Amino acid sequence: MGVTTVRLQPELEESLEAMAGKMHRTKSWVINQALREFIERQEQEQDRWQETLKAMESVAQGRVVSDEAVHTWLRSWGTDSELPPPKAGQ
């Protein structure tokens, strides 16, 4: 396991000590958990951003589903003749 030194603002250090005490955990555990969650959240944000860019490119290339096709599909929900989701260009 690696060792990293971090300078904390006094109020953050106090909050960290208090949280670790309340959780009956070490400060290292709390810091590791916080960083793990932060990194995971940042990775998810990056993935979402890449998906957004792909979607914008699809729209720019005209690969979209018309509002009429979507409304027709939605109106079919819960009926005996429910339709499959529409595809781009329909």
Domain boundaries, the chain: 10-61
- On the question of pLDDT at 76 being above 90, the answer is yes
**C-alpha angle with apex 6: 2 to 10, nearest 5 degrees?**
145
pTM above 0.75, yes or no: no
Report how far Cα 64 is from the mean position of its chain's Cα atoms.
24
How does the average pLDDT of the chain come out, rounded? 95
DSSP 22-62: HHT--HHHHHHHHHHHHHHHHHHHHHHHHHHHHHHHHHHTT
pLDDT at 90: 59
How confident is the model at residue 84, as a pLDDT?
A: 95
pLDDT of residue 1: 86
Question: Are 70 and 87 in contact, with CB atoms under 8 Å apart?
Answer: no
